[in-house]
Amino acid sequence: MTSPAKPATDARDYGNTILLPKTDFPRRAGLAEKEPKILARWEAMDIYRRQRERAKTGTAPREKFVLHFGPPFANGHIHLGHLLSHTLKDFVARSMELAGYDAPLVPGYDCHGLPIEWKIEEKHRTEKKNNTKEADPVGFRRECREYAAHWSGVQTGELQRLGINGDWKNPYSTMYPESEAAIAREIHTFLRNGSLYRGSKPVMWSPVEQTALAEAEVEYKDITSDTVFVKFPLVKGPQALLDAKASVVIWTTTPWTLPANRAIAYGEDLEYFAIKVKNPSVNGSLLSIGEVLLVEQNRDPHLRNEAGIQDAEIIWKGKGADLAGAYATHCLAAKDKGYDLTVPLLPGDFVTTDAGTGFVHIAPGHGEDDYRLGLKYNIEVPHTVGPDGAYFPHVPLFAGAAVYTAEGKKGPANKFVMNALAEVGALVAKSQILHSYPHSWRSKAPVIFRNTPQWFISMEKNDLRKKALAEIEKTAFFPPRGKNRIGAMVESRGDWCISRQRAWGVPIAIFVDKKTGEPLTDDTVLNRTIDIFGQEGSDAWYARPASDFLGDKYNPDDFEQIVDIVDVWFESGSTHAFVMETRPELHWPADLYLEGSDQHRGWFQSSLLEAVGSRGKAPYKAILTHGFILDEKGYKMSKSTGNGMAPVDLMQNYGADILRLWVAGSDYTEDIKFGENILKGHVDVYRRIRNTFCYLLGSFDGFSDDLRVKSAEMSALDRFVLHRLAELDETVRSCIATYDYQRLISEVNHFCARDLSAFYFDICKDALYCEAVTSPKRRAIVSVLDEVFKCLAHWLAPILPFTCEEAWLSYKGLTLDDREISIHLSTLPEVPKAWRDDGLAAQWAQIIAARSVVTGALEPKRADKTIGASLEAAPIVYVADTAMASVLQSIDFADVCITSGITVQTGAAPADAFTLNEVPG
């Protein structure tokens, strides 16, 4: 039976008695439209300059924290790698700034090098211009400079749009005259201390680009290579082997290097067999009955299998040391008199039994180990392959053949060498192998090891290797495994080849005496060169006559002017010298270098070697590395493979703060997956954070400082939330100090979801909506929410700079047109230590556990319509432990559970009572 309706005259409107949330901070973010407006506000405020000025005010200047901004390459739009790397840098600078440091960030660009030169060459090829580089090097360099300047400008806009806060009005660039002068000065430092020398040794060489490459300029890809087992007949050695007419068998994946063979290496402590072929296979074996082959004992089965040997007997056993002083004839001696030479057998500590035969063919012009062994034993280093990757005209049999098939050249060389070996009976077996091989990261073509005159920095002169390893030990690494990685690379690397045969870059600006071959170290000449570079840039090296640098003291005809450019890794490794040492807002060494893990062999290492070699110390105190970006299936992400995603497009769709949240929410120490589905997960996290801000800001309507309640006068529940703020503040500060942004965002998100939304907000909403603005209970709650907002807004400001700025302006009652206030001009709020109350927290852990049982019991009652809202229930809670019962009875547990009443009883619960296994008792 329904009750009769009351007369309309008795109807009362209670709506105006409810304090609903009121804020101008919208739940819908609209980041793509709003973020550019906030950027414009920051630019109008000149916020970076104001940060620097603020750091100087107060009783004492702030302590500096310097992150040296590694220069991105200025040759295209930013990609996801930039997004990850530079956002992390921004996290560091912003969070250190909030933590109370003066944390300037000076961005810059790497503007020289092959990729830019390659683009201009492509343009010239399209326009059918020939030899522009040679005919007008200054004009060619000008085009490169204009190209780099264009993309520097583009990337500046895109990085600013991403929210990267730095000195964008005054960035550095490797192509500024003052930078080029500084780079040349650093080269001269190594010249003066004797570390720089010209040598002829094998380096990684790109036949396509016709230049030497650094390890950091190559990438490794799997290719299929020809492999051969080849005989070298012994002519001197143990008598038993000579009587048996034994041949040493080598195995190589580069048959094209055999014309340059000048020795064979063995392992002194390895055990070797001489096997006599008794029954070669009928299936195409290249061997004859009675042939004797020398092979390491563990590789004997492999050789027999590959060579098709069905049966053989061992006629000699010995150690590698027994082969000391032995010689063999060159494998091609029978084919052409140009190879009528004997090659020594030499001990090599790099010989292993992982593959091959236990003997290594040595071509000193085509491998680092080969070169070192040849140098040790004074072995000739032949020049067989030219800059274009083809054999020189003087190479017997193979003149003009290209190592790899190239337009206009016969090749590949492997085919011609293998045919020649087969003709003279030196070929034991041939096959193919799939292996990882270096390729130029620009042309994507295979590189070769080629002997060529280059300029090197010695790793041993002035103890550079030893000092660099000592500095690595002093450096902090995030993650720690980076120390072992870069340490192993420095320990094993050869001398640093710093010359490149290109046009766009800083020249190795020195002169060499044509008679003595010695470089000129006259300080007057060197200083004059630096002065000219500082005024005009390094183009002057090509535009001015040599006499302008040499002066009247020297005849230009007596000197060779070096026109090779310096390795771009030397350039970027020198940035510490013309950025950190010259900018007054910075200091040397940097507190942190931050880049991808591939920079252990790139920028981290080149910076280390350059600084240690010139100053005796590393240019950094710590190194932070991040992984690479993969797609959602775990594949490497790039535009060329069709799975690349452009940050500029993503910002237009999602906003920069969502992308930044993805960076913070990912474990950057490992490779990171990225894709639309992954990004949507971070959108959900962002929505929760934004809704939290919206709820908090909506609760402040009508609140003022005179209504604030002191913590000592608050309820236990309110004080527990303050405790959580104090607890979380310690965590956030620790995360900032250790660059652990994933933990920071995880803890803050967890706090918003569990402690606030599902707990404190839920309990307090009735008081917020229904209590009077001046009621002590509501005042206390809003006082807590005010502290929560200030903490959250600051904790998240480095990660979500746009959103936190918008929320802060709303909190202050300001709009984007107001240009005095910014959350990024403040520091982390001081959280009173008195808020930390671990005893209170232990009690509330019990209360929260008990509450979960009550809310769990209410759910099925809601579902079966026994009750509607939780306030329609008045449950009985049975507690086994009297101490816990006392805790629950000490508070208004019904308020905490949002029920009309609760009875707490001590003792066993009825058999049909609702329980949760995770909350015993």
- Give me the pLDDT at residue 844, please: 87
pLDDT-based confidence at 56, cuts 50/70/90? confident
pLDDT tens digits, one per residue of 170-198: 999 999 999 999 999 999 999 999 999 99
Share of the chain above pLDDT 90, in %: 51
Q: How many CB atoms lie within 10 A of CB 123?
A: 13
Q: Which of 120-124, 202-206, 304-308, 902-906 has the lowest mean pLDDT?
A: 202-206
DSSP 8-state code for residue 382: -
- Give me the pLDDT at residue 5, please: 46
Q: Where are the beta strands (DSSP E) in 576-717?
A: 592-596, 622-626, 629-630, 672-673
**What tokens appear for 684 in the block?**
């959900």
As a dihedral over the C-alpha atoms of residue 158, residue 164, residue 169, residue 171, rounded to 10 degrees, the angle is -90
- Give me the pLDDT at residue 6, please: 45
- Give me the pLDDT at residue 755, please: 92
pLDDT tens digits, one per residue of 891-905: 887 788 888 888 888
Q: Which of 233-242, 463-472, 484-493, 525-534 has the lowest mean pLDDT?
A: 233-242
- Count CA atoms within 13 Å of residue 826 on its CB side: 19
- Beta-carbon contacts of residue 257 (< 8 Å; ≥ 6 apart): 361, 363, 366, 367
Q: Please name which of 583, 591, 464, 570 lies closest in space to residue 508, comparing C-alpha atoms.
A: 570
Strand duo 448-457 + 476-478: pairing: unpaired
Name residue 565's beta-bridge partners: 500, 507
- Give me the pLDDT at residue 14, please: 58
As a dihedral over the C-alpha atoms of residue 379, residue 384, residue 386, residue 389, rounded to 10 degrees, the angle is -110
For residue 282, give the amino acid letter: V
Sign of the dihedral defined by the CA atoms of residues 894, 900, 904, 910, in that order: negative
- For residue 102, what are the CA distances in angstroms to 188, 371, 664, 795? 34, 50, 22, 17
399 three-class SS: coil
**What tokens appear for 194 in the block?**
């004797």
pLDDT tens digits, one per residue of 820-830: 999 999 999 99
- Give me the pLDDT at residue 4, please: 42
Is the pLDDT at 759 greater than 50, yes or no? yes
pLDDT tens digits, one per residue of 413-438: 888 888 888 888 888 888 887 777 77
Instruction: Check if the beta carbon of residue 629 is closer than 8 Å to that of residue 84.
Output: yes
Name residue 328's beta-bridge partners: 234, 343
Higher pLDDT, 654 or 59: 654
- Give me the pLDDT at residue 643, please: 66
DSSP 8-state code for residue 584: T
pLDDT-based confidence at 519, cuts 50/70/90? very high
Instruction: Check if the beta carbon of residue 508 is closer than 8 Å to that of residue 453.
Output: no
- For residue 301, what are the CA distances in angstroms to 307, 384, 430, 550, 764? 10, 34, 16, 65, 79
- Give me the pLDDT at residue 127, please: 77
**Largest CA-CA distance found in the chain, in angstroms, rounded:** 128
Name residue 173's beta-bridge partners: 109
pLDDT average, residue stretch 32-47? 96
Is the pLDDT at 910 greater than 50, yes or no? yes
Residue 314 Rama label (left phi>0; alpha psi -120 to 50; beta): beta
Higher pLDDT, 871 or 83: 83
Is the pLDDT at 90 greater than 60, yes or no? yes
- Give me the pLDDT at residue 573, please: 96
Q: Which of 359-363, 425-429, 661-665 has maximum average pLDDT? A: 661-665
Is the pLDDT at 449 greater than 80, yes or no? no
72 three-class SS: coil
| Rounded-to-integer distance, Cα 218 and Cα 405, Å | 20
Instruction: Check if the beta carbon of residue 474 is closer than 8 Å to that of residue 620.
Output: no
| Residue-wise burial string across 81-95, b where 16 or more C-beta atoms lie within 10 A, e elsewhere | bbbbbbbbbbbbbbb
pLDDT-based confidence at 578, cuts 50/70/90? very high
Residue the block writes with tokens 């070192």: 372
Q: Which of 4-8, 285-289, 307-311, 473-477 has the lowest mean pLDDT?
A: 4-8
Higher pLDDT, 841 or 451: 841
| Rounded-to-integer distance, Cα 277 and Cα 794, Å | 80
- Give me the pLDDT at residue 13, please: 60
- H helix and E strand count, the chain: 30, 28
**What tokens appear for 908 in the block?**
């066993």
Is the pLDDT at 847 greater than 90, yes or no? no
Length of the chain: 921
Q: How many CB atoms lie within 10 A of CB 80?
A: 21
Share of the chain above pLDDT 70, in %: 95
Is the pLDDT at 218 greater than 80, yes or no? no
pLDDT-based confidence at 312, cuts 50/70/90? confident
| Rounded-to-integer distance, Cα 434 and Cα 744, Å | 45
pLDDT tens digits, one per residue of 783-817: 999 999 999 999 999 999 999 999 999 999 999 99
Q: Which of 37-41, 535-539, 640-644, 743-747 has the lowest mean pLDDT?
A: 640-644
| Rounded-to-integer distance, Cα 175 and Cα 111, Å | 6
- Give me the pLDDT at residue 640, please: 59
Name residue 590's beta-bridge partners: 620
Q: Which of 7-21, 601-615, 680-694, 859-873 has the lowest mean pLDDT?
A: 7-21
- For residue 717, what are the CA distances in angstroms to 28, 595, 844, 905? 31, 45, 8, 22
Q: Which of 450-464, 534-548, 579-593 has the lowest mean pLDDT?
A: 450-464
Can you spell out the DSSP letters for 353-412? SSSTTSEEEE-TTS-HHHHHHHHHTT------B-TTSBB-TTSTTTTT-BSS--TTS---
- Average pLDDT over the chain, rounded to an integer: 88
| Rounded-to-integer distance, Cα 107 and Cα 101, Å | 18
Cα of first residue to Cα of last residue in the chain, in angstroms, is 44
Q: How many CB atoms lie within 10 A of CB 753?
A: 15
- Give me the pLDDT at residue 874, please: 85
| Rounded-to-integer distance, Cα 691 and Cα 687, Å | 6
Residue the block writes with tokens 């799975």: 643
